[in-house]
Amino acid sequence: MWLSFVVWALVAAASLWLDGARALLALPDPDDAMRLVQVRDLLAGQGWFDLVQHRVNPPDGTPMHWSRLVDAPIAAMIVGLRPLLGPEAAERWAVLLWPLVPALLLLPSAGLIGNRLAGAPGAVLTILAAGLAVPLVRHFVPGRIDHHNVQMALSMALVAALVFIPRRPAAYAAGAASALSIAVGLETLPYVALGGVAVMAGWWRAPAERSEAVLAYLSAFAAAATLALAATVAPSLWLVPACDMISTVYLAPLWAALGIAAAARAGGLDRGRAGVALVVSAMALAALASVALLNPACLAGPYAEADPRVLSLWMNHLAEVRSAVTLFRAEPVAAVSVFAAPIAALAVAPVLLALPSSRDREAAAIVVGALALATMLALLQVRTLPFAAMFAAAPLAAAAALVIARRWRLRLDPIWGYAAAACLANPFAITLAAAVAAEPVLGSQAQHEAHAGERLCTRRAEYRVLAGLPPGTVAGLISFGSYILAETPHRVVAAPYHRNRDGVLDTIAAFTAKPDESRAILARRGVDYLAFCTTSTELDHLIGPDADTLVNRLKRGDPPAWLEPVADPSDAATRVYRLRRG
């Protein structure tokens, strides 16, 4: 759609103007820094199938569960820009531009959803609403080169394909989008599962009409997922049933379901609801049995194999895994504003679910279901809020289009009505209005400064002193390990990834122990330098402020004698020390 490209171009220009300079000063998130490291290593000659981050947790390194499907286009963009801009500028522009590329899939997908629900006016309003939501969710702004924007775009494409089933091209698209989603990362697994439920529920309602679509969906899903595994995972790992990345654990249920569906059609079991119910039940049992046989731990979820100590000491205390209740207690204005759009979209859902055609109601149920699932997950862990905000665009815009078109209790000219809806019925406007309304009641200066300390230590300038030292092994707080890798030639004991078990546990032990015990741990790990962010609160949940620990000594500016300070700029939040030997 031409409108999608126009909106994308405007959003891209605004994003580069508002956030471009900021991204050059500091990458927004540790995952962005690690993605840049992974792309640099690939361009420097690290093998395509070698997903080990060799500078994390030396000497063994840490195997990453990230996909080359995201590394490849970023690397290609850098290579393509090098002849025009030179190596350094090419990388900078790729970091700025790449986050906006997935929106080229997201916006047309949103338009298709809006068109399906409310015709051309719905498409226009949904594209505008999704375009305004792009900067809102902050995963598409310059610098966000991790995989979450790709996942959101694929999830929107999946929903767009699902609302047009039983058309076979839509079924193939839904299967392919599902496969690519789990290949990029398993954060989208709930939405992929919801898509499968929607396809099977539609098959049960209309067996004769949907059989071909079901086979097309399962064929595309299984084939694309298998190709993704073969293309991005080393052959030696093809049969390893990993829980946290695409593996046989996820492929076996797909092929089993496809085989059962094909056999059912050949045997005529797909001609009635009872037969379809039996077939779908057999698929579900086969999926559970295959996972239980391959790796029963995966039945508990993608992080089932993570060390419980890593979860309890570190991962469960990250800001992104907070519940909505915890977020509201800490930052009430933020909590009210970020949940406003999804809740508003759920509130207008009855307008869509009351559409006269049963097929239209089915499409609306899929769209509302994706939104409801993302919102429910966000109540448990706020990291899914960007999905909820993005999914909110279509229900808000489509409902507004239907209301204006029908002029329910409104005496507005449709043109002015659509203009008003474009301004008001979108996630950005609702979020902003909620924030403005909540600030006088719930706001406080403390909450505005809640993350300032962490952000200080993500600035590229913080790592210049460390970068100038001879290459060695650095011990630092876990959250900043990725930045050290991106900005210096050093190795790090820990980076914020669950597979880095030993590095995470040793880092926690070293910083929360008494100084003499810390020295022994750091010596065992062969640490040359210690980099400490004085404004971070990463380990505060593990120790009291008065405990005699290394982290408290460093915060007070009273390092033990075996740490030799390295000259830092006076305004630096990160202090660098050299470990004295002997």
Q: pLDDT-based confidence at 412, cuts 50/70/90?
A: low
pLDDT at 417: 76
Nearest to 155 by CA among 125, 187, 201: 187
**Spatial CB neighbours of 303, under 8 Å, sequence gap ≥ 6:** 243, 244, 311, 315, 498
What phi and psi, each to the nearest 5 degrees, are found at residue 498?
-65, -25
Tell me the mean pLDDT in the region 375-397. 94
Long-range contacts of 419-422 (CB under 8 A, 24+ apart): 421/125, 421/397, 422/124, 422/125, 422/128, 422/129
pLDDT at 447: 45
- Which residues in 549-580 are b (16+ Cβ under 10 Å) and which e? bbbbbbbeeebeebbeebebeeebbbbbbbbe
Tell me the mean pLDDT in the region 2-10. 92
> Cα–Cα distance between 176 and 549 in angstroms, integer?
52
Could you tell me if 500 and 517 are in contact, meaning their C-beta atoms sit under 8 angstroms apart?
no
Q: Which residue in the block uniquely carries the two structure tokens 């990463």? A: 538
> Cα–Cα distance between 120 and 110 in angstroms, integer?
12
The identity of residue 1, as a single letter, is M
pLDDT at 331: 83
Q: Which two tokens stand for residue 107?
A: 């916006």
pTM of the model: 0.94
pLDDT digits (tens, 9 = 90+) for 504-523: 999 999 999 999 999 999 99
pLDDT at 328: 84
Tell me the mean pLDDT in the region 336-346. 93
Distance of CA 154 to the CA centre of its chain: 11
Could you tell me if 350 and 398 are in contact, meaning their C-beta atoms sit under 8 angstroms apart?
no
pLDDT at 582: 65
Could you tell me if 102 and 386 are in contact, meaning their C-beta atoms sit under 8 angstroms apart?
no
| H helix or E strand, kind and range, residue 66 | none
Could you tell me if 113 and 126 are in contact, meaning their C-beta atoms sit under 8 angstroms apart?
yes
pLDDT digits (tens, 9 = 90+) for 267-287: 888 788 999 999 999 999 999
> Cα–Cα distance between 176 and 170 in angstroms, integer?
10
pLDDT digits (tens, 9 = 90+) for 429-477: 899 888 888 877 666 544 445 466 778 889 998 999 999 999 999 999 9
pLDDT digits (tens, 9 = 90+) for 473-490: 999 999 999 999 999 999
Could you tell me if 146 and 31 are in contact, meaning their C-beta atoms sit under 8 angstroms apart?
yes
pLDDT at 451: 65
Range with lowest mean pLDDT among 294-308, 333-347, 417-431: 417-431
pLDDT > 90 in the chain, percent:
73
The identity of residue 197, as a single letter, is V
Could you tell me if 129 and 394 are in contact, meaning their C-beta atoms sit under 8 angstroms apart?
yes
Nearest to 362 by CA among 543, 197, 557: 197
pLDDT digits (tens, 9 = 90+) for 106-155: 999 999 999 999 999 899 999 999 999 988 888 999 999 999 999 999 99
pLDDT digits (tens, 9 = 90+) for 520-569: 999 999 999 999 998 888 998 888 888 899 999 999 989 999 999 997 76
pLDDT at 423: 81
Q: pLDDT-based confidence at 413, cuts 50/70/90?
A: low
Tell me the mean pLDDT in the region 42-51. 96
DSSP alpha helices (H): ranges in 331-383? Answer: 332-347, 349-353, 358-380
Could you tell me if 160 and 109 are in contact, meaning their C-beta atoms sit under 8 angstroms apart?
yes
pLDDT at 444: 53
Q: Compute the radius of gyration of the chain from its Cα atoms.
A: 25
> In the 3-class helix/strand/coil scheme, how is 313-338 assigned residue by residue?
HCHHHCHHHCCHHHHHHHCHHHHHHH
Q: What is the mean pLDDT of the chain?
A: 91
Tell me the mean pLDDT in the region 92-114. 96
Could you tell me if 491 and 474 are in contact, meaning their C-beta atoms sit under 8 angstroms apart?
yes
pLDDT at 571: 72
> Cα–Cα distance between 92 and 143 in angstroms, integer?
9
pLDDT digits (tens, 9 = 90+) for 113-125: 999 999 998 999 9
Asked if residue 168 has pLDDT above 60, the reply is: yes
Asked if residue 13 has pLDDT above 90, the reply is: yes
Tell me the mean pLDDT in the region 154-176. 96
Angle at 314 between CA 310 and CA 320, to 5 degrees: 120
| H helix or E strand, kind and range, residue 529 | strand 529-533
> In the 3-class helix/strand/coil scheme, how is 155-184 assigned residue by residue?
HHHHHHHHCCCCCHHHHHHHHHHHHHHHHH
- Which residues in 268-297 are b (16+ Cβ under 10 Å) and which e? ebbeeeebbeebbebbeebbeebbeebbee
Q: Which two tokens stand for residue 333?
A: 């204005």
Beta strand pairing call for 473-476 and 491-492:
parallel
> Cα–Cα distance between 165 and 178 in angstroms, integer?
14
